[in-house]
Structure 1
Amino acid sequence: MLRLALGTVVRVIEERPGFQLIGLWMAETGLHEEAMSFAQEEYVPGDKVIVNTTAIHLKLGTGGYHVVVGKADRMNERDLSPSQWGHIMKMRYSPWQLAVDTVEEQASPHHDLFLREDLSLEGTPVLIAELHSLLPASVVAWKHKNPESKIVYVMPDGASLPMALSRHVHHLKRQGFLAATITTGHAWGGDHEAVTIHSGLLAARHVEKADLIICTLGPGVAGTGTSYAFSGIQLAEVIHAVSILGGFPLMIPRISFADSRQRHYGISHHTQTILQRYALRPVVLTMPIIGDHRDCLLEQQAATLKKLDKHLLVWGKVPGEHRLSSLEQAYGLSFTTMGRTWVEDPVPFQTAVLAIELLCSWREGLAKAFSDDPHCFGAPDTLAALDLFSTRIEAQP
């Protein structure tokens, strides 16, 4: 299904870099509706635009907006997404294909960097999560503990493709919490563009000098209720890339006790499926100790992962709800996930902040482990290296 309709611009509702929300009069339905545009063009009342109405027709979670394809009025050829040297196409062979300036290509000032065969992440911690909604709490919690450090957000293409769709990213950058953003694969609109998740991660470390890299999917993940077709499976590729490139992979499990769907109650089947079936390299998984009856369920669900002996599970007491309230105030917008506030569903955010607190306590240990052995986190037996690191950290007074 691909549904297109004609609308007339009534007003521009919201503007931010790379994104506009416009109000439309839809003649066919006689309704006032709203549409998103990612083009760098000006809209004025009376402009005729072609909009993609497919997602709204299917009642999908796009935020309730159509998507602008382009102006329907007669127009001259013009560049709606200017680039400098780019010849790499994203969204290839779609009507919206565009050339972007990727960090790796020949005309890029960073091309020589990517000719090196020995590039690694140098033990840099990479925080991996499925839900985009956990990005603000993670970023603000880290900056609270490490105000001078640089966080770079890397967005793969498993969910939304335009970075500008994310209000979180826009707000975090405007507030100075995020140093830079990188879009990989067919995702586009970051401060840097990369062809693969591998080069995107390396650009975060070597171009932007990241102290912490956060990699979550963008907004708008897809699921089918099966273990074969959900956006989060892409995180297995992220885990592999981080591990092979010598980074420190730390994953925030998707956990909720407010989701009415049984498959997402406690540890989501998404997290369990990724780690049991698709991740071929180990990851450190932060597991929350809540302090009540819910811990029993989490331990039962985690037992299968422990039996696999593929990953390192690290348990820790979750921060109190007052901590979430404080972080939300510092962020300046609400923490919500899957339509629920942190008050209604605190555990996802507590688990994310727990991961950050653990990482903060491990910073010196990570730096020392890498300096002792620059290949420790990229070795074939990565699990042994992670186990050894964990043992050393636990042994510290």
Structure 2
Amino acid sequence: MIRWRKGEVVAVRREWPGAMELDVALPEGDCRALAYPPLVGRPEPGDTVLLNTTALAMGLGTGGYAMVVAIPDRLPEDPSGPGHLVKARYTPLQATVLGADEQGSPYHEVLRDADSLDGMPVVVADLHSALPAVLCGLFEARPGVRVAYVMSDGGALPAWFSMAAARLREIGWLCGVVSTGQAFGGDVEAVTLHTGLLAARHVLDAEVAVVAQGPGNLGTGTRWGFSGVSAGEAINATAALNGRPVASLRVSEGDTRDRHLGVSHHSLTAYGRVALARAQVIVPDLPGPFGERVTTAAAPLATRHELIRVPITGLHKALEKSPVRLSTMGRGLTEDPASFLAAAAAGRHVASLLT
């Protein structure tokens, strides 16, 4: 349930499109807080803010912020403009956005009968941290490709939460962000993953799409209880729309949990059990005993998918040049290179599919 606090804004730490990081004074001490100005208005030093401190109290690594729920003494103006698609539905912070696929949208006619991705490659990944690594591998081979990030709603719901996506959008590595399902805050809003993929292709004119949940993977240590199960569903959606699904494996050599060491059980379940359509599963050609472990773990997926071995020569250097910080579960490129190399290998393979 929600932990409520009232505090006073002390300072603005930093901000990026759609989000502000704040220092807020509480009776028990200062805390770090996050506000989304499009939802609650722009907080300024001296403002009283109403906070949800649940994630902060739980010590969550990704979402360990107090969240600004309202600036009660200075409410924002009522929104104006079109849009009747409600996201975060029936929560206290439900918001109305203009869906690309809804009536009244300038793209409604385009998407009303859209039914195909025209063979567009779609990289599917479990974790949000794979996004910049996929792009590093792709742009190392094919700079300038138009790539859209299609964000599912398994992690953070506001696309604004991702500093990486904001920066990648700013420098042109992404032609846009599509927020789907209950997620919101992208350049384009869509009702479902299917219309989100179609919007990436026909609204943003993307040549490649990357599908991954927002920051903040949820897992319970059970076979089926993790938000990344949606990666298998994304394979099915891509195939249903005549796209080319490319599965990026979740790999780690730094995770202390055996279920995630080597090839994560998340990938084995999502691609081995949930994905009913055939995909190309990218197996990075990692060296030594660890590489053999990854290859052996991925082998059973060959009964359903095409396994593609991709060399990793030069990818580490490409990852070192990433324009955004590489981090997965608190580990960077030095602590867990295999995680990022696996995602970069998927990007490298997709480059080979483009004509």
Normalised TM-score (structure 2):
0.95
Identity of aligned residues (%): 39
Contact kept in structure 2, 1:23 and 1:34, CA below 8 Å: yes
Contact kept in structure 2, 1:36 and 1:67, CA below 8 Å: yes
| Displacement over 4 Å in runs of 4+ | none
Pair 1:317 & 2:311 matched:
yes
Cα distance in 1, alignment partners of residues 57 and 244 from structure 2? 43
Return 155-164 or 132-141, whichever deviates more.
Answer: 132-141
Pair 1:345 & 2:336 matched:
yes
CA shift for structure 1 position 46: 1.9
In the alignment, which residue of structure 2 is the partner of 1:105? 102
Candidates 130, 137, 145, aligned match of 1:134: 130
CA shift for structure 1 position 83: 5.6
Q: How many residues align?
A: 353
Cα distance in 2, alignment partners of residues 255 and 100 from structure 1? 36
Cα distance per residue 1:149-204 (max 9 Å; x no partner): 21111101011000011011111111121111100001000000000000000000
Structure 2 SS opposite 1:182: strand
In the alignment, which residue of structure 2 is the partner of 1:39? 37
Cα distance per residue 1:27-54 (max 9 Å; x no partner): 2x1x111110112322222211110011
Cα distance in 2, alignment partners of residues 233 and 198 from structure 1? 16
Cα distance in 1, alignment partners of residues 251 and 45 from structure 2? 45
Cα distance in 1, alignment partners of residues 325 and 109 from structure 2? 42
Cα distance in 2, alignment partners of residues 77 and 39 from structure 1? 9
Structure 1 SS opposite 2:134: helix
Pair 1:2 & 2:2 matched:
yes
CA shift for structure 1 position 143: 2.7
Cα distance per residue 1:88-128 (max 9 Å; x no partner): 10011111001001001110011112221x52000000011
Cα distance in 1, alignment partners of residues 340 and 80 from structure 2? 37
CA shift for structure 1 position 136: 1.1
Cα distance in 1, alignment partners of residues 172 and 270 from structure 2? 33
Structure 2 SS opposite 1:210: coil
- The correspondence of residues 48-67 of structure 1 with structure 2, limited to 5 A, is 48-67=48-67
Cα distance in 2, alignment partners of residues 332 and 184 from structure 1? 25
CA shift for structure 1 position 349: 1.4
Return 293-302 or 184-193, whichever deviates more.
Answer: 293-302
Cα distance in 2, alignment partners of residues 351 and 62 from structure 1? 22
Cα distance in 1, alignment partners of residues 44 and 172 from structure 2? 32
In the alignment, which residue of structure 1 is the partner of 2:151? 155
In the alignment, which residue of structure 1 is the partner of 2:91? 94
CA shift for structure 1 position 137: 2.0
Structure 2 SS opposite 1:341: coil
Contact kept in structure 2, 1:319 and 1:353, CA below 8 Å: no
In the alignment, which residue of structure 2 is the partner of 1:224? 220
Cα distance in 2, alignment partners of residues 5 and 335 from structure 1? 33
Structure 2 SS opposite 1:240: helix
Unaligned 5+ segments in structure 1 are 365-397
Bigger Cα Rg: 1
- Alignment CA distance shift 1:223-1:213 (3 Å): same
CA shift for structure 1 position 140: 3.1
Cα distance per residue 1:312-354 (max 9 Å; x no partner): 111122234xx4234432x333322111111221111111221
Unaligned 5+ segments in structure 2 are none
Structure 1 SS opposite 2:6: strand
- Alignment CA distance shift 1:249-1:83 (3 Å): farther
Cα distance in 2, alignment partners of residues 141 and 315 from structure 1? 14
Cα distance in 2, alignment partners of residues 298 and 141 from structure 1? 19
In the alignment, which residue of structure 2 is the partner of 1:362? 353
Cα distance in 1, alignment partners of residues 75 and 230 from structure 2? 40
Structure 1 SS opposite 2:2: coil
**CA root-mean-square deviation:** 1.6
In the alignment, which residue of structure 2 is the partner of 1:236? 232
Contact kept in structure 2, 1:55 and 1:62, CA below 8 Å: no
Contact kept in structure 1, 2:150 and 2:179, CA below 8 Å: yes
In the alignment, which residue of structure 2 is the partner of 1:392? none
Normalised TM-score (structure 1):
0.85
Contact kept in structure 1, 2:8 and 2:46, CA below 8 Å: yes
- The correspondence of residues 148-227 of structure 1 with structure 2, limited to 5 A, is 148-227=144-223
